[in-house]
Amino acid sequence: MTDKTQITLTAPASVDLALVVGPSDSTLRVVESAFEASITVRGDFIILAGDQSEVQSLTALFSDFIKVAERGEEVTPEYAMRSIELLRSAEFSPQALREDILLTFRGRAIRPKTAGQKRYVDAIRSHTITFGLGPAGTGKTYLAMAMAVAALKRKEVGRIILTRPIVEAGENLGFLPGTINEKVDPYIRPLYDALFDMTDMERANDLIDSGVIEIAPLAFMRGRTLNDSFIILDEAQNTTPEQMKMFLTRLGFNSKMVVTGDLTQRDLPGSRSGLADAERVLGDIDDVSFCRLSGKDVVRHSLVAAIVAAYDRADA
């Protein structure tokens, strides 16, 4: 016979439990649908009753929710779903993710939000070269950028280099009007957007003007050795094997590389992808990590995760 347990959690007076249960109890309903144990919220109390293991899990879950609410933040249904998945994976706790703050900007903490994202940032910390593979919305570039900015602030590196391959879609850049910067700007604009989201725009522009942060097409990396740098190659599914080899061999002393890409969104015509080739060639090398993110790690609008899952089913 399964042991039955009851635990009562008391929220601090400073915590509004409305932030814990969500608007119209939407977050509470997500938790109730995932567990058989009963959950009663009354005044400042949360009463959990049922199977001992479930009550223990719910205690950890609501303790984390209360910590989030203590910061004045609302616990969203999406946050609750990710936290439940973490508890069931037994790999990380919601507290481990909450405390793993990569960067703070304007009072907003940037941190991994899923088990896959936590594995990814841990891989970046412990490896010189990390490959982040996965669909749109999984935070591959964003988290790498946050870690690069944090490393620069801590003076662990002297500069950040952000690069992307330029794949022309039906038009030759040489025939487009404008300077070379005007021609390539639309291709690398997403890197600027991510950078400006985590550091002051004026400060970022000063760092770009001084060369501390460099944003450039992949072709501009040829012939260089990149020392004392945090280097991010984005959209790497659009590299050729030759370009990937060229990029990886730019690695210098006291540098770290992160390569991100989604093999399902390849625009490279008539050639195999350097990103796909890299795992086959480099998979057994120490200090090179391949980290795969999935639809479970999508942290954009919930519809994005559903779209990714639908395409995965269609491909299967």
Residue 64 covered by a domain = yes
CATH number of the structural domain spanning residue 256: 3.40.50.300
Please tell me whether residues 170 and 293 are part of one structural domain: yes
Q: What is the pLDDT of residues 195-222, one digit of tens each?
A: 888 888 899 889 999 999 998 888 889 8
Which residues are CB-neighbours of 149 under 8 A, at least 6 positions away? 103, 160, 195, 198, 199
The more confidently predicted of residues 115 and 149 is 149
Task: Tell me the longest C-alpha to C-alpha distance in the chain.
Answer: 77
Cα separation, 239 vs 274, in Å, equals 5
Average pLDDT rounded to a whole number, residues 304-313: 78
Number of domains in the chain: 2
Which of 306, 291, 304, 313 lies closest to 134 in space, CA to CA? 291
Please tell me whether residues 151 and 282 are part of one structural domain: yes
CATH number of the structural domain spanning residue 14: 3.30.1370.10
Which residues are CB-neighbours of 225 under 8 A, at least 6 positions away? 250, 252
Q: Where does a domain end: 69, 99, 129? A: 99
Please tell me whether residues 152 and 193 are part of one structural domain: yes
Please tell me whether residues 244 and 306 are part of one structural domain: yes
pLDDT band at 174 (very low <50, low <70, confident <90, very high): low
Residue 104 covered by a domain = no
Q: What is the pLDDT of residues 181-193, one digit of tens each?
A: 555 666 777 888 8
Q: Where does a domain end: 57, 73, 99? A: 99
Q: Is the pLDDT of residue 305 over 80?
A: no
Give the chain's mean pLDDT. 86
Which residues on adjacent β-strands are paired with residue 8? 47
Residue 106 covered by a domain = no
46 DSSP 8-state letter:
E
Average pLDDT rounded to a whole number, residues 281-298: 90
pLDDT band at 169 (very low <50, low <70, confident <90, very high): very low
Average pLDDT rounded to a whole number, residues 102-126: 88
Q: In this structure, how many other beta carbons lie within 10 angstroms of the beta carbon of residue 163?
A: 23
pLDDT band at 176 (very low <50, low <70, confident <90, very high): low
Please tell me whether residues 25 and 131 are part of one structural domain: no
Q: How far is CA 173 from CA 121, 184, 282, in A?
A: 35, 8, 32
pLDDT value at residue 183:
57
Please tell me whether residues 138 and 175 are part of one structural domain: yes
Q: What's phi and psi for 139, nearest 5 deg?
A: 80, 20
- The sign one gets for the Cα dihedral 269, 274, 276, 277 is positive
Instruction: Give residue 82's domain range.
Output: 4-99
Please tell me whether residues 116 and 210 are part of one structural domain: yes
Cα separation, 303 vs 112, in Å, equals 20
90 burial class (0-12, 13-18, 19+ CB within 10 angstroms)?
Answer: exposed
Cα separation, 140 vs 150, in Å, equals 16
DSSP 263-305: GGG---TTS--HHHHHHHHHTT-TTEEEEE--GGG--S-HHHH
Please tell me whether residues 121 and 256 are part of one structural domain: yes
Cα separation, 287 vs 206, in Å, equals 33
39 DSSP 8-state letter:
E
Residue 73 covered by a domain = yes
Please tell me whether residues 82 and 123 are part of one structural domain: no
What dihedral do alpha carbons 226, 227, 233, 236 form, nearest 10°? 60
| Chain centre to alpha carbon of residue 4 | 39
Structure tokens at 165: 């391959």
Stretch (H or E) spanning 108: strand 108-110
Which of 143, 133, 137, 129 lies closest to 250 in space, CA to CA? 129
Average pLDDT rounded to a whole number, residues 268-272: 75
CA angle 43, 46, 47 (to 5 degrees): 120
